[in-house]
Every structure is written in C-alpha cells, then in structure tokens.
C-alpha cells in the first residue's frame, strides 16, 4: 500500500510494553502482532479530553490513511474515474454510499464493490475489494497529480490475459494484516484480521496501544503508572528503525525486498536515513521525531528544517565545537539545508516527488544511491 509495499510489521505490536512495562529485546524481534491481551481499544474521543494538543493528529493525513468506501472523498468528488489498458476499461463510480469497480473488455464485465480506500490522496489512493471471498488490490489507483487513474505501483502494465487477470492482485497470506495494521487502528488482534473492529486511519491507539488500562490508571490518579506506551522515549535509532520503520520500512526490511534498490526505495525513509553517513546514530536529534511531530501536519517549508540541522552542525568554520555541536559547517549556506542535502526525487509510476532521506552532498549527474 502507500506506506509500504513490503511484508512489514504493524504498529500495534507494541503491547508487550504497554501491558507489562518490559522492553527486553522486544524491538529487536518486532513482528506483525497486535496482541491486546484482553485490553480494549477505547477510541480517540477518550484521549481528547486530556490530550487536546496531541489530538490535532486526528486531522493529519496519517489519521486519514484509510477510508471506508462510503467516506471516500476522492471518488465522491470525481463522481467517476476511468482508465483504459488495451481492450480493458476500468471504471470507479459512486452509486449512493457504494463505490463500484467495473472492468470490461467490450464483451463482458466484472463489477465488485470497493470496501476500503488506502491512502489519504495527497499522492494517491489504492482501492481494496473482495472477489471470490478474497481481498484484492485494484490494478489501477488514483493519482493526485493526474486527477485520474493509472496503474497501481508494483502491478504489471501489460495487457491482461482475461477479465479475472485484469481485476488486480489478490492480497494473500499475512499481507492483509500488515496492510490494515499500518493504515488503521485496531484491525489486527493477535494474528487475526478483525475488519469489523477497525477504526479508519492511524489514530492515537495505533502508536500508543489500546487505552483501556490507561484510562483506569488515570481515573485512579496513578500518574506514575500510566499503563500506556510512549514511543517518544525510545532512542533515536530504535525509534526510527524499529518503531517508525515498522510501517515506513526499516533498513532490515528493505534488505529483504527484491527489486527495491536505488530510486525504488526512495519512499523508505528509515532505510534511507540508516544509510546516511554520519547520521546513523542513536542521537535523538537524528530520529524521525527530531524533524516530524506525528501529532502535527507535515511541515513542507525547507526553512523549517534548518534549525534541525544546526542542532548538530556548526554555522561557520570559525565557530568553536562543543560536545553537543561538533558536526562541520556547510561552506555554502546555513539556509534551505534540506533542499540541497535531501533533494526531492520523482519515482516513476508514482507521479509524485519524494524527499530523499539519504542525507549527503548531492553531486550533479550522480545516480540516486541505493
């Protein structure tokens, strides 16, 4: 899906920490798992009363990482989306609360109702439906730059052999758990997919775990035993690779993916950061949270990130090094750092530019590092 196309873990797999306060080697062996051990999800409305500032996260794209079909705003706004591949025509259209996905070869057709819309739509949106009692990913996706459909990334662009072949790709094995685990809250419990219990999007309990015990502890004024997990307390490397990397693809995960070298892994921010010379440390100033507050909208102005860089880098060659700030000064500028050292790269087929998190001195004409 949009966050990752690989078989990776889900955020709710942190409950061993939530329930028992023990880390041990939990993050080194983190796998797809959201065992709640009988603890219930309470919903983000229960969080807002005490965490009004953090609750702004509920308005971010991450909180809208999945929509159920009746709420899919892109198809609602478009009314109808069409794509053609050889003799095959693809149509997505709103019919009341339903979204119908129809593929026709001019002689026959197959229509299935869309169930879930993956992705907030800033880059694009992929659709999931059920066919022959299996979940399928549509062969075509919506791309914001095109305001229309094109091939879903990773799908074959050749002319299909049949209507069945034209439908898309069956989501088999444990992939549904991984997809829904990274795009919803509460959809995966243990190793089971519980689609009837999902909350669309990544909300509070996706990162902090189910809040039932936390509510009980707070009502009992047990402030020193909050019974909730705070990923902000993790070290920089542990946070970026083992936690955020669960859905945004860590170094270890990217190494297992075929055909994902070079520009193809430009979307895997934790992996790219891991490969950045001098930036693969456990320093919290070089973690995902150093630059990105998950409770806020993404900052798109490159100037916002300058002070993040200058937290480690000197401003001039004459400035004295300190224990906290000893990284060399840039000889060119102290402004717009990210625009030079983290360039935006367009990924073929995605119709969008992605910020390359492989921090480096970019040289004109050189290939994207892999």
CA distance 135 to 128: 7
Residues 6+ positions from 174 with CB-CB distance below 8 Å? 7, 32, 191
Least confident of 23-37, 68-82, 111-125, 306-320: 23-37
Question: How many CA atoms, within 13 angstroms, populate the side-chain half-sphere of residue 168?
Answer: 30
CA distance 97 to 102: 16
Least confident of 75-79, 178-182, 189-193, 282-286: 189-193
> Tokens 């229309």 sit at which residue?
148
CA distance 345 to 103: 33
Please report, rounded to a whole number, the percentage of residues in the chain having pLDDT higher than 90: 72
CA distance 143 to 149: 6
CA distance 113 to 136: 11
The full set of domain ranges for the chain reads 11-65+177-227, 66-141, 240-355
Computed over every residue of the chain, the mean pLDDT equals: 87
What is the model's pLDDT at position 151? Answer: 97
Three-state DSSP at 141 gives strand
* In the predicted structure, residue 260 carries a pLDDT above the cut 80: no
For 93-102, write each residue's pLDDT tens digit.
Answer: 999 999 999 9
* In the predicted structure, residue 25 carries a pLDDT above the cut 50: no
The highest-confidence range among 137-146, 171-180, 206-215, 234-243, by mean pLDDT, is 137-146
Structure pTM? 0.87
Three-state DSSP at 244 gives helix
Q: Which pLDDT band holds residue 333 (cuts at 50, 70, 90)?
A: very high
CA distance 72 to 359: 36
Report angle CA 111, 115, 119 to the nearest 5 degrees: 115
Kindly report the number of other CB atoms within 10 A of residue 250's CB atom. Answer: 26
What is the model's pLDDT at position 4? Answer: 40
DSSP string, 246-292: HHHT-HHHHHT-TT--GGGGTT-HHHHHHTSTTT-SS-GGGSHHHH-
Mean pLDDT for 36-40 is 75
Q: Which pLDDT band holds residue 258 (cuts at 50, 70, 90)?
A: confident
* In the predicted structure, residue 229 carries a pLDDT above the cut 60: yes
CA nearest 328: which of 320, 336, 61?
320
Please answer whether residues 12 and 188 qualify as being in contact, where contact means their C-beta atoms are separated by less than 8 angstroms: yes
What is the model's pLDDT at position 234? Answer: 87
């Amino acid at each position: 899906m949009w966050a990752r196309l690989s078989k990776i873990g889900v955020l709710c797999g942190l409950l061993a920490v939530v329930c028992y306060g023990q880390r041990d080697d939990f993050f080194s062996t983190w796998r797809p798992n959201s065992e709640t051990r009988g603890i219930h999800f309470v919903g983000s409305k229960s969080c807002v009363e005490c965490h009004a500032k953090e609750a702004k996260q509920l308005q971010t794209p991450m909180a809208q990482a999945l929509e159920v079909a009746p709420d899919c705003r892109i198809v609602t706004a478009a009314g109808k989306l069409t794509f053609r591949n050889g003799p095959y025509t693809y149509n997505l259209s709103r019919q009341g609360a339903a979204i119908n996905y129809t593929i026709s070869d001019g002689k026959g057709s197959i229509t299935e109702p869309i169930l879930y819309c993956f992705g907030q739509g800033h880059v694009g949106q992929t659709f999931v439906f059920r066919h022959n009692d299996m979940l399928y990913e549509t062969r075509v996706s919506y791309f914001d730059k095109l305001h229309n459909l094109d091939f879903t990334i990773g799908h074959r662009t050749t002319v299909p052999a049949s209507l069945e072949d034209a439908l898309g790709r069956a989501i088999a094995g444990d992939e549904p758990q991984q997809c829904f685990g990274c795009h919803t809250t509460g959809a995966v419990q243990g190793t089971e997919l519980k689609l009837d219990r999902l909350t669309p999007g990544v909300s509070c309990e996706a990162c902090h775990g189910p809040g039932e015990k936390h509510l009980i502890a707070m009502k009992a004024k047990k402030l020193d035993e909050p019974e909730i997990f705070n990923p902000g307390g993790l070290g920089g490397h542990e946070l970026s690779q083992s936690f955020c990397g669960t859905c945004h693809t860590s170094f270890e995960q990217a190494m297992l993916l075929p055909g994902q070298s070079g520009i193809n892994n430009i979307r895997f921010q934790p992996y790219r950061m891991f490969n950045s010379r001098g930036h693969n440390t456990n320093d919290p100033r070089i973690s995902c949270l150093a630059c990105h507050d998950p409770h806020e909208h993404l900052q798109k102005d490159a100037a916002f990130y300058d002070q993040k860089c200058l937290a480690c880098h000197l401003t001039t060659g004459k400035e004295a090094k300190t224990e906290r700030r000893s990284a060399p000064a840039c000889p060119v500028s102290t402004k717009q750092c990210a625009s030079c050292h983290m360039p935006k790269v367009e990924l073929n087929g995605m119709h969008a530019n992605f910020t390359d998190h492989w921090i480096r001195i970019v040289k004109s004409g050189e290939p994207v590092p892999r």
